[in-house]
Amino acid sequence: MLLHLITGKQIFEVYKERVHSFIKKRQYEKFWKIIELDNKEIELSPEFKDLVNSMLDYNYKNRPDIIDILNHPWLDEIRSLNSEDFLVYEKLVEKKLEIIMKTLSQ
């Protein structure tokens, strides 16, 4: 859901088996190449990728719990944005949410 929120796309619906294969094999660099090629307008930070990688770990026992997620450096990065940057980010997220809602309603 986090990846969907940031990219505005249902990644696992769009890329299907290719993406699942990369995740299962822990080939995250290949996974991110696909995502970034199709989302050139969005810069995905290493911290964001790290969080998503950990959440997508094929072994559910290795995935972070909510406390780990809330304490992840990517959320610190978001919290540290100055108010002007945060407003820009917030508008981007709102736009992505609109796209998601439109997609889900179809």
Mean pLDDT to the nearest integer, 25-40: 86
Phi and psi based region of residue 16 (left: phi greater than 0; alpha: psi -120 to 50; beta: remaining): left
2 versus 1: which is more confidently predicted?
Answer: 2
72 versus 104: which is more confidently predicted?
Answer: 72
pLDDT (0 to 100) of residue 87: 66
Instruction: Return the closest-CA partner of residue 24 out of 49, 60, 50, 48.
Output: 60
d(CA 44, CA 96): 14
What is the torsion angle, in degrees rounded to the nearest 10, for the CA atoms of residue 21, residue 32, residue 75 and residue 40? -140
CB atoms within 10 A of CB 48: 21
Mean pLDDT to the nearest integer, 16-40: 84
- Residue pair 23/56 in contact (Cβ under 8 Å)? The answer is yes
**pTM to 2 decimal places:** 0.69
Would you give the end-to-end CA distance of the chain in angstroms? 18
Where is mean pLDDT largest: 7-16, 64-73, 95-104? 64-73
Output the six-digit token pair for 82. 């100055």
Residue 73 has pLDDT above 70, yes or no: yes
pLDDT digits (tens, 9 = 90+) for 36-69: 887 777 788 899 999 999 998 888 899 999 889 8
The average confidence (pLDDT) of the chain is: 81
Percent of the chain's residues with pLDDT above 90: 17
